[in-house]
Structures are given as C-alpha cells and as structure tokens.
Structure 1
C-alpha cells in the first residue's frame, strides 16, 4: 500500500537540534541506544506540538537498523528483541485480551509485500485458545491476523475489510504493518518506524484511503512500517543535495560561488524537480536491487519482534517451537 511516513522521530530530532536552542514546545524528543541500535522517540504532547509537527498527539518511534543486519542472524535477533521491547512499552495488553495483526500491502509486488510476509511468520493462537483451551499453554495470549490485500485485487477498500473483521472479532488491540514510501534516500530499508496514531494506507503514492486508527475503529491501533521505496523526485533532490554539500566544502568560504550555493532553498529545489519530472513519470518509485533478500529478512525481524511483544511470558525458543 506504500503508506507515507515522514520519518517523524528522526526529523523532529533534526528540527530540534538545528532550529531550536531551547525546548521544543509541545514536543518531547528522546534518543537512546540499545547496544549498536539507536532508538529515537518523539512524543507530541498537545495541540501546540501538533501544529509544529503536523501530526496528531501521540508517540512516534524510529529504530535505526545497523548496517549489514540483514546478512547477520545474530544481529537480526538483537533487532527483533529491541523492537519487541519497544512495542511492549507502547501497548496496553494483557492475557484476557485479543490482538489483531493486519498485514497491509500487495503480496505480488516485492517492496510492498512486507505486511503479508510478516503475517505468514506470526504466532497465531486465537483459534487454539477457543477450540482447545485445555491443551494450549496458559501463558499464550490470543492473537489473530489478516492480510486483506489491496483494492485493485479485492475490489474492496482495505479499511472496510478491517472494520468488518473488527466488528466480528472485537479485538482489544490492532497492529498494522505496511511498507512505507521514504522521504529520504538514506532511510530506505534502514529504519523501523512505529506510531500509536494509526496509518493511512496508500498515501505514499497519492492514493489516500480511510485512515486506520482508534478514531475510525474504536480500538487502539499501533502502526509499524519500514521505508522500502523512494520516489524519483526525492532521489534526484537528495543526489543534488549531496553534490551541493560537496561543492560547498570545496568552495572558498565567503566567496561569491560559496554564497550562491549556500543560498539554494532546498524546499524550492525539491518542488522544481517534481515539476520538471511530472511529464516524465514523477510517480516513479525506486527500490534497491537486493529488495528480495531484504524483504525476507525484515519480515522475519518484524514478525519476531511482534511475537515477543504479544507473548511476553514466552522466550524466543518457545515461540520458535510453536512456529515450527
């Protein structure tokens, strides 16, 4: 579905450091490290913060993925553990409650298949708690899942499918997983982003659908996504920014050429690039060539993190036994 996410936690920290010498009113920014994994958390506290950040009141977390994680099994397990701990802090969920995990996206398009791939690796238990309650471990919590597909495949709005399932199943918590369209080239496949204010499927490619949130479903919604694509205009803009930065470093400070480069407005430049590309397919989305391997790895990491968060009384070995 390629929901759009503005890398809010990271951008808020950058905004805080670059534009404000003191406290950012209505916004709380916190950065921590768990080993080599950086976690940036942003809490929008009130309507003042909403206006500054253009996002609703809530908590937004960005977990940086260390380089080469997707090639290292131990690193993947560490990242899953960090993701699990982060999710546990954001959800209010006990043994009597039911969680519904929704895998958004199109399983036929590799960079958009994150949601369905995660669903296939989850520990699904709701049916067992209902059908064989005496034989299932009492430590296990009821979890169900759905991969509703996309409008072009089903002919049904994703939000309509989810709402129907919610009305029938009556979960106490919803976790939505989706691939994101990044606003920065260097954040593609390099961050895991979590928010407790819901998600708007398809908005990353201009197909805004009804949002999936507590406001629309009357159930708390945690949105979890990974930027897997970037649009052509963003890629071109970031490339030009890198060229400008390199030229500025090599120019004489205070010189005419230096001042001209420094005066370039980055926002105006981006809009100009978008206008120029419009006749040539400005909606082109770009993803790295190793996307197949990355999607397999990141789906395992995300699924494992969700399993840890929803089944805190089980260790990873128990969860793996259940899945295998």
Structure 2
C-alpha cells in the first residue's frame, strides 16, 4: 500500500474511506459546520480504528478554515476563540495545572518555524509563581515555554530535551506546537489540528524523530499543528486526478488518453509519480510563496487561543491589546 505523506487524522480517514467506501470501525466522527469554518472531531476508539487510519487511540480535532490564509482580523479573532474552546474541551487542563508549552521546529526555516513563533507570543508566568511562592492564581495559570530547536542545530534528540525539562519542571500537561504536512495544497495554512495523543516530529515529511506522548514523558501531551507543506508527488498525483475529471467532464470518455489514465489504480499512479520524480525531486515538499506572512498570522492565532484557553483571567480583549 502506498503511503501519502500527511500528519492529519482527517486525511487518513478520507484515504481509508476512499479505499473501502465506508468509514472504519472503531472510529467515531462528529462534524460541526459554521459560516466560516468546519470542526471535525475524530475519536479513535480501539486498535482496529487505530490500525485502519494509522493514528493512535485518542481524539483528533480538525478546524478547517478555507479563508484562513487570507483572513482579516475578525476571522483571526474568531478562530483564536475556536482554538481556545477546543483545547478546553479536551479536559486536560485543570485549575491548578502547571503547563509546559513546547514550540517544535527549526526557527531558521520559515515553514518549520510555527512552534518557535508561537512560543514567542504565549504568556509565560512560571517565574512569578516561583518568586511569589504561589500555587494558584485567579487570573493566570502557571505556564512555562521553550523552543528546543532541532537535532541538526543542537545535536540532541528533541524528545530527550523535552523529557529532561519535564523531569525538572514537573508540569501536569505538555502542549506541543508544530508545523505539519498535508496531502492537499488547499489545506496548507487553512487547517488546524488539535489532538491529545502526543506527537511524532517530522513524521509527515519522512523525518521521524523520537515520539513523545504520555507514555514516553510521563504527562499528558496535547499537540497543536498547522500544515505548512505538501509533498511534491502528492501535488502531481492530485493534478492528474483533476486532468482525468476534466477529460471526463468534457466528454472525452472513450479517448485513448482518458482510458489509459483512468485504468491506472491510485496505488500504481502514486508509485509511478514517485519513481519518476525521485531522481530529480526526491523528498521535495512545497510551501506557499507568502509563507513568512502566513506563519506570523497563524502563530498569533494559535498563541492567542492558548492564552485564552490556559489563563482564566485573559480574554480576547487582553490578547489583542498586549500579545501581538
């Protein structure tokens, strides 16, 4: 079975349904549609569901916002509030929780800089709790944050850094923010995924690093990610599908070219594309030309959502005034 690169549970579910013409057993799906966004909540309930959509047992929330990459301030504020609501809905954060926010990725590479950019904008308060010897506050939560970098910069496995910090700081919850890979160009910078199953950095682009989740670091892990890249072979594959659909719509059914393309299975087509591209474009991923602007905007949305979800005394008015 060919493997399309994606970090999104909703896309794995789509691929399974496309192949089998039905949803997987052991997977519960709930969809909420609003005027400017769609929230899809996928719960992987058991081993069968996990194996079918290639995701660990747990909850995956996808917020699809078609205009997110062209959004005005009002839409950004609206989606920040949605992000805050969904994080709270996971029920991992308690009134007296100590939280560690981890910005994964390489701050020197723009498409991979979402995590570090978010860390720059979250409200960090742990130092005040230490200095004033406080356990709880009515306005702010006990929040620490770090951007550990990538192994190519530090020489240290990112998961090892996080595990060491967790052992020292002893948070009750870790929230990891990372750039993701999608199998569809129209999901790049328009989709936010929130899950409670931890994260495997670099998996979507074939660069698997040490996985970290509750079993590996000892505390619950919420992962927040936004696709910033798509595999080049996937773009070519989807383009061929559009060509086939176009030929069909233009009454070219029966033509030799149409028959040739339509008889190739999805697995064969994708494998052929990879075989042709690999000598010239091996491991190439594609990102939008305005990714620097998008990363800035998206990091504000995620950081504002985190600040509102974690700090009980902070609302949209506060984040707009102080955290930009």
Structure 1 distance, partners of 2:116, 2:18, is 37
Gaps of 5+ in 1: none
Aligned-pair CA distance for 1:207: 2.0
Structure 1 distance, partners of 2:261, 2:273, is 17
In the alignment, what sits opposite 2:76?
76
Aligned-pair CA distance for 1:6: 3.7
Structure 2 distance, partners of 1:172, 1:79, is 26
Aligned-pair CA distance for 1:208: 1.2
In the alignment, what sits opposite 2:32?
32
Gaps of 5+ in 2: none
Structure 1 distance, partners of 2:285, 2:146, is 26
Structure 1 distance, partners of 2:110, 2:252, is 46
In the alignment, what sits opposite 1:207?
207
Which one is further off, 238-247 or 153-162? 238-247
Written as runs of structure 1 = structure 2, the 5 A alignment for 1:1-324 is 5-12=6-13, 15-16=16-17, 19-20=20-21, 24-67=24-67, 70-132=70-132, 138-251=138-251, 259-320=259-320, 323=323
Deviations 1:87-125 (A, max 9, x none): 111132222210101000011111110000000000111
Which one is further off, 76-85 or 204-213? 204-213
Aligned-pair CA distance for 1:316: 2.1
SS in 2 for 1:101: strand
Deviations 1:127-162 (A, max 9, x none): 11221357x953311011010001111111111110
CA RMSD of aligned residues (A): 2.3
SS in 2 for 1:60: strand
Deviations 1:6-32 (A, max 9, x none): 4222442574588446x6421101110
Structure 2 distance, partners of 1:15, 1:286, is 24
Which TM-score applies when normalising by structure 2? 0.90
Alpha-carbon contact 1:173-1:221 (below 8 Å) kept: yes
Aligned residues: 319
Aligned-pair CA distance for 1:63: 0.5
Which TM-score applies when normalising by structure 1? 0.90
Alpha-carbon contact 1:232-1:285 (below 8 Å) kept: yes
